[in-house]
Structure 1
Amino acid sequence: MSRSGWLPNQHGAWAMLAVPFAAGTFLGHPRWAHLPLLGAWLLGYLAAYHAQQWLRLNRIARNPKAPRRHVRPALCFAAGSAACGIPVAVTHPWLLLAAACAAPFIAVNTLYAYRNRERSLLNGLAAVVPACAMLLVALRLGGGAWGTGVAPALACLLYFGGTVPYVKTMIRERDSRAYYRSSVAYHAVAVAPAACLSPWLAIPFALYLLRAAALPGRGLTVGVVGAVEVLGSLMLLGTVLAAF
Protein backbone atom coordinates (compact mmCIF):
# COMPACT_ATOMS: atom_id res chain seq x y z
CA MET A 1 0.00 0.00 0.00
CA SER A 2 1.06 3.60 -0.52
CA ARG A 3 1.60 5.91 2.42
CA SER A 4 -1.95 7.11 2.13
CA GLY A 5 -3.20 3.56 2.42
CA TRP A 6 -5.48 3.98 -0.57
CA LEU A 7 -3.37 2.87 -3.53
CA PRO A 8 -1.97 -0.67 -3.75
CA ASN A 9 1.72 -1.06 -4.51
CA GLN A 10 1.06 -3.66 -7.19
CA HIS A 11 2.87 -1.70 -9.87
CA GLY A 12 2.56 -4.36 -12.56
CA ALA A 13 -1.21 -4.28 -12.28
CA TRP A 14 -1.37 -0.75 -13.66
CA ALA A 15 0.25 -1.72 -16.95
CA MET A 16 -2.09 -4.68 -17.23
CA LEU A 17 -5.07 -2.41 -16.64
CA ALA A 18 -3.94 0.37 -18.97
CA VAL A 19 -2.26 -1.23 -21.99
CA PRO A 20 -5.15 -3.37 -23.34
CA PHE A 21 -7.58 -0.53 -22.72
CA ALA A 22 -5.33 1.94 -24.57
CA ALA A 23 -4.79 -0.51 -27.41
CA GLY A 24 -8.53 -1.02 -27.87
CA THR A 25 -9.18 2.71 -27.70
CA PHE A 26 -6.68 3.64 -30.39
CA LEU A 27 -7.32 0.63 -32.61
CA GLY A 28 -10.86 1.97 -32.86
CA HIS A 29 -11.95 5.59 -32.76
CA PRO A 30 -11.24 7.38 -29.47
CA ARG A 31 -14.37 8.96 -28.07
CA TRP A 32 -15.21 11.01 -25.02
CA ALA A 33 -17.07 7.98 -23.67
CA HIS A 34 -13.72 6.24 -23.22
CA LEU A 35 -12.82 8.63 -20.40
CA PRO A 36 -15.65 7.72 -18.01
CA LEU A 37 -15.24 4.06 -18.96
CA LEU A 38 -11.55 4.24 -18.05
CA GLY A 39 -12.47 5.92 -14.78
CA ALA A 40 -15.02 3.21 -14.00
CA TRP A 41 -12.47 0.51 -14.89
CA LEU A 42 -9.60 1.83 -12.75
CA LEU A 43 -11.77 2.85 -9.81
CA GLY A 44 -13.58 -0.48 -9.98
CA TYR A 45 -10.24 -2.27 -9.72
CA LEU A 46 -9.33 -0.23 -6.65
CA ALA A 47 -12.73 -0.88 -5.05
CA ALA A 48 -12.39 -4.62 -5.66
CA TYR A 49 -8.85 -4.62 -4.25
CA HIS A 50 -9.91 -2.99 -0.98
CA ALA A 51 -13.03 -5.15 -0.68
CA GLN A 52 -10.91 -8.26 -1.12
CA GLN A 53 -8.38 -7.04 1.44
CA TRP A 54 -11.20 -6.39 3.89
CA LEU A 55 -12.48 -9.91 3.34
CA ARG A 56 -9.00 -11.43 3.70
CA LEU A 57 -8.08 -9.53 6.85
CA ASN A 58 -11.42 -10.22 8.48
CA ARG A 59 -10.49 -13.87 8.30
CA ILE A 60 -6.82 -13.82 9.29
CA ALA A 61 -6.05 -10.58 11.17
CA ARG A 62 -5.94 -10.57 14.96
CA ASN A 63 -6.20 -6.80 15.06
CA PRO A 64 -9.83 -5.79 14.32
CA LYS A 65 -8.63 -2.42 13.05
CA ALA A 66 -6.70 -4.01 10.18
CA PRO A 67 -9.69 -4.78 7.94
CA ARG A 68 -11.47 -1.54 8.83
CA ARG A 69 -8.89 0.61 7.07
CA HIS A 70 -10.06 -0.85 3.75
CA VAL A 71 -13.75 0.00 4.24
CA ARG A 72 -13.60 3.71 3.41
CA PRO A 73 -11.41 3.31 0.30
CA ALA A 74 -13.62 0.46 -0.95
CA LEU A 75 -16.79 2.52 -0.58
CA CYS A 76 -15.29 5.69 -2.07
CA PHE A 77 -13.77 3.91 -5.05
CA ALA A 78 -16.98 1.94 -5.63
CA ALA A 79 -19.00 5.16 -5.59
CA GLY A 80 -16.57 6.79 -8.01
CA SER A 81 -16.67 3.78 -10.30
CA ALA A 82 -20.47 3.83 -10.30
CA ALA A 83 -20.55 7.58 -10.97
CA CYS A 84 -18.30 7.11 -13.99
CA GLY A 85 -19.79 3.86 -15.23
CA ILE A 86 -23.55 4.31 -14.91
CA PRO A 87 -23.91 7.19 -17.41
CA VAL A 88 -21.89 5.40 -20.10
CA ALA A 89 -23.74 2.14 -19.39
CA VAL A 90 -27.08 3.91 -19.88
CA THR A 91 -26.05 4.97 -23.37
CA HIS A 92 -24.27 1.67 -24.12
CA PRO A 93 -26.24 -1.08 -22.29
CA TRP A 94 -24.07 -3.87 -23.75
CA LEU A 95 -21.39 -2.79 -21.26
CA LEU A 96 -23.47 -4.49 -18.56
CA LEU A 97 -23.03 -7.80 -20.39
CA ALA A 98 -19.29 -7.18 -20.57
CA ALA A 99 -19.23 -6.55 -16.82
CA ALA A 100 -21.16 -9.78 -16.25
CA CYS A 101 -18.55 -11.70 -18.27
CA ALA A 102 -15.82 -10.33 -16.00
CA ALA A 103 -17.68 -11.28 -12.81
CA PRO A 104 -16.54 -14.96 -12.66
CA PHE A 105 -12.88 -13.93 -12.83
CA ILE A 106 -13.38 -11.33 -10.11
CA ALA A 107 -15.08 -14.04 -8.05
CA VAL A 108 -12.01 -16.24 -8.44
CA ASN A 109 -9.75 -13.39 -7.26
CA THR A 110 -12.08 -12.79 -4.31
CA LEU A 111 -11.99 -16.46 -3.34
CA TYR A 112 -8.19 -16.51 -3.43
CA ALA A 113 -8.11 -13.33 -1.32
CA TYR A 114 -10.44 -14.93 1.23
CA ARG A 115 -8.12 -17.93 1.41
CA ASN A 116 -5.09 -15.62 1.75
CA ARG A 117 -3.59 -17.05 -1.43
CA GLU A 118 -3.49 -13.93 -3.58
CA ARG A 119 0.03 -14.71 -4.80
CA SER A 120 -1.16 -17.96 -6.37
CA LEU A 121 -0.23 -18.45 -10.01
CA LEU A 122 -3.83 -19.27 -10.95
CA ASN A 123 -5.09 -16.16 -9.17
CA GLY A 124 -2.74 -14.00 -11.21
CA LEU A 125 -3.78 -15.65 -14.45
CA ALA A 126 -7.46 -15.15 -13.57
CA ALA A 127 -6.83 -11.42 -13.19
CA VAL A 128 -5.17 -11.21 -16.60
CA VAL A 129 -8.19 -12.41 -18.58
CA PRO A 130 -10.69 -9.58 -17.90
CA ALA A 131 -7.90 -7.00 -18.12
CA CYS A 132 -6.99 -8.14 -21.64
CA ALA A 133 -10.66 -8.44 -22.59
CA MET A 134 -10.98 -4.71 -21.95
CA LEU A 135 -9.29 -4.27 -25.32
CA LEU A 136 -12.43 -5.67 -26.93
CA VAL A 137 -14.66 -3.45 -24.81
CA ALA A 138 -12.74 -0.26 -25.59
CA LEU A 139 -12.57 -1.17 -29.27
CA ARG A 140 -16.31 -1.79 -29.47
CA LEU A 141 -17.06 1.45 -27.65
CA GLY A 142 -15.07 3.23 -30.35
CA GLY A 143 -17.12 1.69 -33.12
CA GLY A 144 -14.76 -1.14 -33.96
CA ALA A 145 -15.88 -4.70 -34.70
CA TRP A 146 -15.43 -7.42 -32.09
CA GLY A 147 -13.65 -9.65 -34.61
CA THR A 148 -10.88 -7.17 -35.33
CA GLY A 149 -9.96 -7.07 -31.66
CA VAL A 150 -9.49 -10.81 -31.11
CA ALA A 151 -5.90 -11.01 -32.38
CA PRO A 152 -4.59 -7.99 -30.43
CA ALA A 153 -6.46 -9.13 -27.30
CA LEU A 154 -4.82 -12.56 -27.61
CA ALA A 155 -1.43 -10.86 -28.00
CA CYS A 156 -2.05 -9.01 -24.74
CA LEU A 157 -3.15 -12.25 -23.10
CA LEU A 158 0.03 -14.00 -24.23
CA TYR A 159 2.22 -11.22 -22.87
CA PHE A 160 0.52 -10.51 -19.56
CA GLY A 161 -0.06 -14.20 -18.94
CA GLY A 162 3.70 -14.63 -19.20
CA THR A 163 4.43 -11.81 -16.78
CA VAL A 164 2.76 -13.75 -13.96
CA PRO A 165 5.33 -16.59 -13.75
CA TYR A 166 8.19 -14.36 -14.90
CA VAL A 167 7.76 -11.78 -12.13
CA LYS A 168 7.60 -14.61 -9.60
CA THR A 169 11.01 -15.82 -10.81
CA MET A 170 12.34 -12.32 -10.13
CA ILE A 171 10.90 -11.84 -6.64
CA ARG A 172 8.96 -14.40 -4.62
CA GLU A 173 10.15 -17.53 -6.43
CA ARG A 174 13.63 -16.30 -7.31
CA ASP A 175 15.20 -19.50 -5.95
CA SER A 176 12.78 -21.91 -7.63
CA ARG A 177 14.27 -23.74 -10.60
CA ALA A 178 10.83 -25.18 -11.39
CA TYR A 179 9.33 -21.70 -11.77
CA TYR A 180 12.30 -20.57 -13.85
CA ARG A 181 12.05 -23.51 -16.24
CA SER A 182 8.28 -23.09 -16.53
CA SER A 183 8.58 -19.37 -17.23
CA VAL A 184 11.23 -19.86 -19.92
CA ALA A 185 9.24 -22.70 -21.48
CA TYR A 186 6.10 -20.58 -21.59
CA HIS A 187 7.90 -17.68 -23.26
CA ALA A 188 9.58 -20.00 -25.76
CA VAL A 189 6.25 -21.51 -26.75
CA ALA A 190 4.51 -18.10 -26.87
CA VAL A 191 6.74 -16.80 -29.68
CA ALA A 192 5.09 -19.04 -32.30
CA PRO A 193 1.42 -18.15 -31.62
CA ALA A 194 2.38 -14.49 -31.29
CA ALA A 195 4.03 -14.62 -34.72
CA CYS A 196 0.91 -16.29 -36.11
CA LEU A 197 -1.18 -13.37 -34.85
CA SER A 198 1.22 -10.98 -36.59
CA PRO A 199 4.82 -11.49 -37.79
CA TRP A 200 5.70 -8.19 -36.14
CA LEU A 201 4.88 -9.66 -32.74
CA ALA A 202 7.72 -12.16 -33.10
CA ILE A 203 10.19 -9.36 -32.32
CA PRO A 204 8.90 -8.28 -28.89
CA PHE A 205 8.05 -11.84 -27.89
CA ALA A 206 11.57 -12.96 -28.71
CA LEU A 207 12.81 -10.18 -26.44
CA TYR A 208 10.38 -11.28 -23.72
CA LEU A 209 11.87 -14.77 -23.99
CA LEU A 210 15.37 -13.32 -23.68
CA ARG A 211 14.50 -11.39 -20.52
CA ALA A 212 12.74 -14.42 -19.00
CA ALA A 213 15.85 -16.51 -19.59
CA ALA A 214 18.56 -13.97 -18.75
CA LEU A 215 17.33 -11.72 -15.92
CA PRO A 216 16.31 -14.11 -13.10
CA GLY A 217 19.09 -14.70 -10.62
CA ARG A 218 20.86 -11.41 -11.30
CA GLY A 219 19.70 -9.75 -8.10
CA LEU A 220 17.78 -6.94 -9.74
CA THR A 221 15.83 -4.66 -7.43
CA VAL A 222 12.04 -4.51 -7.51
CA GLY A 223 12.28 -1.06 -9.08
CA VAL A 224 14.42 -2.32 -11.94
CA VAL A 225 12.10 -5.29 -12.46
CA GLY A 226 9.16 -2.88 -12.64
CA ALA A 227 10.97 -0.60 -15.08
CA VAL A 228 11.73 -3.54 -17.38
CA GLU A 229 8.07 -4.52 -17.33
CA VAL A 230 6.97 -0.97 -18.14
CA LEU A 231 9.24 -1.03 -21.17
CA GLY A 232 7.89 -4.44 -22.15
CA SER A 233 4.32 -3.21 -21.86
CA LEU A 234 5.03 -0.12 -23.96
CA MET A 235 6.73 -2.31 -26.55
CA LEU A 236 3.64 -4.48 -26.71
CA LEU A 237 1.34 -1.47 -27.03
CA GLY A 238 3.41 0.06 -29.83
CA THR A 239 3.65 -3.21 -31.73
CA VAL A 240 -0.05 -3.98 -31.40
CA LEU A 241 -1.01 -0.52 -32.65
CA ALA A 242 1.42 -0.79 -35.57
CA ALA A 243 0.53 -4.37 -36.49
CA PHE A 244 -3.25 -4.20 -36.32
Structure 2
Amino acid sequence: MTQVRKWIPDQHGAWAMLAVPFLAGTFLAPRPGWAHAVLFAAWLLGYAAVFHAQQWLRLRTRGLRSARRHARPAVVFGAAFAAAGVPLAVLHPWLVAAALLAAPFVAVNTYYARRGRERALVNGLAAVVPACGMLMVAAGLGGLGPAGSWEPAAACLLYFAGTVPYVKTMIRERNSRAYRVGSVAYHALALAAAACLSPWLALPFTAYLTRAATLPGRALRVPVVGAIELACASSLLLTLLLAY
Protein backbone atom coordinates (compact mmCIF):
# COMPACT_ATOMS: atom_id res chain seq x y z
CA MET A 1 0.00 0.00 0.00
CA THR A 2 2.85 2.37 0.84
CA GLN A 3 4.43 1.70 -2.56
CA VAL A 4 1.12 2.44 -4.31
CA ARG A 5 0.83 5.72 -2.45
CA LYS A 6 4.25 6.74 -3.75
CA TRP A 7 2.99 6.29 -7.29
CA ILE A 8 -0.13 8.44 -6.81
CA PRO A 9 0.62 12.14 -7.42
CA ASP A 10 0.43 14.06 -4.15
CA GLN A 11 -1.02 17.22 -5.69
CA HIS A 12 -4.40 16.65 -4.03
CA GLY A 13 -5.94 19.88 -5.27
CA ALA A 14 -5.38 18.79 -8.86
CA TRP A 15 -7.88 15.94 -8.80
CA ALA A 16 -10.99 18.14 -8.73
CA MET A 17 -9.52 20.25 -11.51
CA LEU A 18 -8.94 17.11 -13.57
CA ALA A 19 -12.39 15.64 -12.92
CA VAL A 20 -14.95 18.47 -12.79
CA PRO A 21 -14.46 19.98 -16.28
CA PHE A 22 -14.22 16.52 -17.84
CA LEU A 23 -17.38 15.26 -16.13
CA ALA A 24 -19.24 18.45 -17.02
CA GLY A 25 -18.31 18.10 -20.69
CA THR A 26 -19.22 14.43 -20.68
CA PHE A 27 -22.70 14.83 -19.22
CA LEU A 28 -23.53 18.03 -21.09
CA ALA A 29 -22.88 16.22 -24.37
CA PRO A 30 -25.88 14.60 -26.08
CA ARG A 31 -24.07 11.28 -26.56
CA PRO A 32 -21.87 10.28 -23.63
CA GLY A 33 -20.49 6.79 -24.09
CA TRP A 34 -17.70 4.28 -23.60
CA ALA A 35 -15.19 6.51 -25.37
CA HIS A 36 -15.49 8.98 -22.50
CA ALA A 37 -14.41 6.31 -20.02
CA VAL A 38 -11.35 5.54 -22.13
CA LEU A 39 -10.54 9.22 -22.57
CA PHE A 40 -10.91 9.85 -18.84
CA ALA A 41 -8.53 6.99 -18.09
CA ALA A 42 -6.04 8.36 -20.62
CA TRP A 43 -6.42 11.84 -19.13
CA LEU A 44 -5.63 10.68 -15.59
CA LEU A 45 -2.82 8.38 -16.72
CA GLY A 46 -1.30 11.17 -18.79
CA TYR A 47 -1.41 13.51 -15.82
CA ALA A 48 0.31 10.94 -13.61
CA ALA A 49 2.99 10.29 -16.24
CA VAL A 50 3.73 14.00 -16.68
CA PHE A 51 3.78 14.55 -12.91
CA HIS A 52 6.42 11.88 -12.33
CA ALA A 53 8.43 12.95 -15.38
CA GLN A 54 8.52 16.51 -14.10
CA GLN A 55 9.50 15.39 -10.61
CA TRP A 56 12.27 13.25 -12.10
CA LEU A 57 13.52 16.27 -14.05
CA ARG A 58 13.37 18.55 -11.01
CA LEU A 59 15.37 16.21 -8.80
CA ARG A 60 17.72 15.07 -11.57
CA THR A 61 18.63 18.68 -12.32
CA ARG A 62 19.79 19.00 -8.72
CA GLY A 63 21.78 15.79 -8.89
CA LEU A 64 19.62 14.03 -6.31
CA ARG A 65 19.46 10.24 -6.33
CA SER A 66 15.82 10.38 -5.21
CA ALA A 67 14.96 11.24 -8.84
CA ARG A 68 15.14 7.53 -9.61
CA ARG A 69 11.96 6.74 -7.72
CA HIS A 70 9.99 8.78 -10.26
CA ALA A 71 11.45 7.10 -13.34
CA ARG A 72 9.50 3.84 -13.21
CA PRO A 73 6.09 5.45 -12.50
CA ALA A 74 6.69 7.91 -15.35
CA VAL A 75 7.41 5.07 -17.80
CA VAL A 76 4.59 2.81 -16.60
CA PHE A 77 1.99 5.57 -16.56
CA GLY A 78 3.24 6.82 -19.91
CA ALA A 79 2.88 3.37 -21.47
CA ALA A 80 -0.61 2.99 -20.00
CA PHE A 81 -1.54 6.41 -21.34
CA ALA A 82 -0.39 5.39 -24.81
CA ALA A 83 -2.30 2.10 -24.61
CA ALA A 84 -5.52 3.96 -23.81
CA GLY A 85 -4.97 7.11 -25.85
CA VAL A 86 -3.51 5.93 -29.15
CA PRO A 87 -6.46 3.72 -30.21
CA LEU A 88 -8.85 6.51 -29.26
CA ALA A 89 -6.84 9.02 -31.28
CA VAL A 90 -6.96 6.67 -34.27
CA LEU A 91 -10.74 6.66 -34.07
CA HIS A 92 -10.92 10.42 -33.38
CA PRO A 93 -7.86 12.11 -34.98
CA TRP A 94 -8.93 15.57 -33.83
CA LEU A 95 -7.89 14.54 -30.32
CA VAL A 96 -4.28 14.88 -31.50
CA ALA A 97 -4.89 18.54 -32.31
CA ALA A 98 -6.43 19.04 -28.87
CA ALA A 99 -3.35 17.51 -27.27
CA LEU A 100 -1.08 19.80 -29.27
CA LEU A 101 -3.02 22.82 -28.00
CA ALA A 102 -2.29 21.70 -24.44
CA ALA A 103 1.42 21.16 -25.12
CA PRO A 104 2.57 24.79 -24.53
CA PHE A 105 0.96 24.80 -21.09
CA VAL A 106 2.62 21.49 -20.20
CA ALA A 107 5.90 23.03 -21.36
CA VAL A 108 5.39 25.95 -18.96
CA ASN A 109 4.73 23.53 -16.10
CA THR A 110 7.84 21.54 -17.04
CA TYR A 111 9.95 24.70 -17.06
CA TYR A 112 8.81 25.65 -13.57
CA ALA A 113 9.26 22.08 -12.33
CA ARG A 114 12.84 22.02 -13.61
CA ARG A 115 13.54 25.22 -11.70
CA GLY A 116 11.86 23.93 -8.55
CA ARG A 117 9.22 26.66 -8.66
CA GLU A 118 6.07 24.59 -9.02
CA ARG A 119 4.23 26.78 -6.50
CA ALA A 120 4.64 29.87 -8.68
CA LEU A 121 1.41 31.68 -9.52
CA VAL A 122 2.03 31.53 -13.28
CA ASN A 123 2.69 27.79 -13.07
CA GLY A 124 -0.61 27.18 -11.32
CA LEU A 125 -2.54 29.28 -13.80
CA ALA A 126 -0.87 27.48 -16.73
CA ALA A 127 -2.05 24.13 -15.35
CA VAL A 128 -5.64 25.35 -15.12
CA VAL A 129 -6.06 26.11 -18.83
CA PRO A 130 -5.72 22.62 -20.37
CA ALA A 131 -7.66 21.09 -17.47
CA CYS A 132 -10.62 23.35 -18.17
CA GLY A 133 -10.17 22.87 -21.90
CA MET A 134 -10.90 19.19 -21.36
CA LEU A 135 -14.55 20.16 -20.93
CA MET A 136 -14.69 21.09 -24.59
CA VAL A 137 -12.78 17.94 -25.55
CA ALA A 138 -15.14 15.67 -23.61
CA ALA A 139 -18.15 17.54 -24.96
CA GLY A 140 -16.85 17.26 -28.52
CA LEU A 141 -16.39 13.54 -28.12
CA GLY A 142 -20.06 13.32 -27.22
CA GLY A 143 -21.30 15.44 -30.11
CA LEU A 144 -21.44 18.89 -28.50
CA GLY A 145 -19.49 21.47 -30.50
CA PRO A 146 -17.56 24.52 -29.29
CA ALA A 147 -20.62 26.76 -29.62
CA GLY A 148 -22.34 24.78 -26.90
CA SER A 149 -19.36 24.07 -24.67
CA TRP A 150 -17.26 27.20 -24.49
CA GLU A 151 -19.42 28.91 -21.85
CA PRO A 152 -19.22 26.00 -19.33
CA ALA A 153 -15.48 25.76 -20.05
CA ALA A 154 -15.11 29.49 -19.41
CA ALA A 155 -16.97 29.11 -16.11
CA CYS A 156 -14.58 26.34 -15.08
CA LEU A 157 -11.64 28.52 -16.03
CA LEU A 158 -13.00 31.39 -13.94
CA TYR A 159 -13.40 29.18 -10.91
CA PHE A 160 -10.22 27.12 -11.04
CA ALA A 161 -8.03 30.11 -11.91
CA GLY A 162 -9.39 31.74 -8.76
CA THR A 163 -8.43 28.77 -6.62
CA VAL A 164 -4.75 29.39 -7.37
CA PRO A 165 -4.41 32.73 -5.53
CA TYR A 166 -7.12 31.86 -3.00
CA VAL A 167 -5.42 28.68 -1.76
CA LYS A 168 -2.18 30.62 -1.46
CA THR A 169 -3.92 33.10 0.88
CA MET A 170 -4.93 30.14 3.04
CA ILE A 171 -1.55 28.38 3.18
CA ARG A 172 1.71 29.67 1.72
CA GLU A 173 0.79 33.35 1.44
CA ARG A 174 -1.48 33.55 4.48
CA ASN A 175 0.31 36.67 5.71
CA SER A 176 0.35 38.47 2.37
CA ARG A 177 -2.08 41.38 2.16
CA ALA A 178 -1.32 41.77 -1.56
CA TYR A 179 -2.44 38.20 -2.26
CA ARG A 180 -5.63 38.67 -0.23
CA VAL A 181 -6.55 41.88 -2.03
CA GLY A 182 -5.71 40.37 -5.40
CA SER A 183 -7.72 37.23 -4.66
CA VAL A 184 -10.82 39.17 -3.61
CA ALA A 185 -10.53 41.52 -6.58
CA TYR A 186 -10.25 38.56 -8.94
CA HIS A 187 -13.26 36.82 -7.44
CA ALA A 188 -15.35 39.97 -7.74
CA LEU A 189 -14.50 40.20 -11.43
CA ALA A 190 -15.09 36.46 -11.86
CA LEU A 191 -18.55 36.82 -10.32
CA ALA A 192 -19.46 39.54 -12.81
CA ALA A 193 -18.11 37.52 -15.73
CA ALA A 194 -19.84 34.32 -14.62
CA ALA A 195 -23.17 36.11 -14.23
CA CYS A 196 -22.84 37.29 -17.83
CA LEU A 197 -22.38 33.67 -18.91
CA SER A 198 -25.45 32.50 -16.99
CA PRO A 199 -27.49 34.03 -14.13
CA TRP A 200 -27.39 30.64 -12.43
CA LEU A 201 -23.62 30.88 -12.13
CA ALA A 202 -23.97 33.99 -9.98
CA LEU A 203 -25.05 31.73 -7.10
CA PRO A 204 -21.91 29.62 -6.70
CA PHE A 205 -19.60 32.46 -7.67
CA THR A 206 -21.10 34.63 -4.94
CA ALA A 207 -20.16 31.87 -2.51
CA TYR A 208 -16.64 31.72 -3.98
CA LEU A 209 -16.23 35.46 -3.50
CA THR A 210 -17.52 35.22 0.06
CA ARG A 211 -15.05 32.48 0.99
CA ALA A 212 -12.18 34.42 -0.63
CA ALA A 213 -13.08 37.52 1.40
CA THR A 214 -13.81 35.93 4.77
CA LEU A 215 -11.77 32.74 5.24
CA PRO A 216 -8.15 33.96 4.90
CA GLY A 217 -6.71 34.70 8.32
CA ARG A 218 -8.87 32.13 10.13
CA ALA A 219 -6.05 29.60 10.42
CA LEU A 220 -8.05 26.72 8.99
CA ARG A 221 -6.30 23.37 8.76
CA VAL A 222 -5.21 22.20 5.31
CA PRO A 223 -7.73 19.30 5.22
CA VAL A 224 -10.52 21.77 6.00
CA VAL A 225 -9.37 24.07 3.20
CA GLY A 226 -9.35 21.07 0.86
CA ALA A 227 -12.83 19.98 1.93
CA ILE A 228 -14.21 23.47 1.27
CA GLU A 229 -12.68 23.48 -2.21
CA LEU A 230 -14.13 20.05 -2.93
CA ALA A 231 -17.57 21.38 -1.99
CA CYS A 232 -17.02 24.45 -4.19
CA ALA A 233 -15.93 22.35 -7.17
CA SER A 234 -18.92 20.04 -6.70
CA SER A 235 -21.28 23.01 -6.60
CA LEU A 236 -19.80 24.26 -9.87
CA LEU A 237 -20.35 20.88 -11.53
CA LEU A 238 -23.94 20.72 -10.34
CA THR A 239 -24.66 24.29 -11.47
CA LEU A 240 -23.19 23.67 -14.92
CA LEU A 241 -25.31 20.56 -15.39
CA LEU A 242 -28.44 22.43 -14.33
CA ALA A 243 -27.72 25.66 -16.22
CA TYR A 244 -26.65 24.13 -19.55
Question: What corresponds to 1:27 in structure 2?
Answer: 28
Structure 2 unaligned residues grouped into runs of 5+: none
Matched, 1:80 2:94: no
Q: Structure 1 residue 2: deviation in Å?
A: 8.2
Change (3 A) 1:78 1:3: closer
Q: Structure 1 residue 4: deviation in Å?
A: 3.0
Question: What corresponds to 2:51 in structure 1?
Answer: 49
User: Residue type of the partner of 1:108?
Assistant: V
Task: Note the aligned Cα RMSD (angstroms).
Answer: 1.2
Question: What corresponds to 1:141 in structure 2?
Answer: 141
Aligned length in residues: 242
In the TM superposition, what are the counterparts of 1:1-244 in structure 2 within 5 Å?
4-28=5-29, 29-61=31-63, 64-244=64-244
In structure 1, C-alpha distance between the alignment counterparts of 2:234 and 2:220, rounded to whole Å? 20
In structure 2, C-alpha distance between the alignment counterparts of 1:119 and 1:60, rounded to whole Å? 18
After TM superposition, the score normalised by the length of structure 2 is 0.97
* 1:171-212 CA distance string (max 9 Å, x none): 111111111110011001111110000000001000000000
Q: Structure 1 residue 3: deviation in Å?
A: 6.8
In structure 2, C-alpha distance between the alignment counterparts of 1:175 and 1:8, rounded to whole Å? 28
Q: Structure 1 residue 146: deviation in Å?
A: 1.5
Report SS of the residue matched to 1:70: helix
Structure 1 unaligned residues grouped into runs of 5+: none
User: Residue type of the partner of 1:54?
Assistant: W
User: Residue type of the partner of 1:166?
Assistant: Y
In structure 2, C-alpha distance between the alignment counterparts of 1:178 and 1:71, rounded to whole Å? 39
Change (3 A) 1:3 1:79: closer
In structure 1, C-alpha distance between the alignment counterparts of 2:80 and 2:61, rounded to whole Å? 27
Q: Structure 1 residue 125: deviation in Å?
A: 0.2
In structure 2, C-alpha distance between the alignment counterparts of 1:102 and 1:4, rounded to whole Å? 27
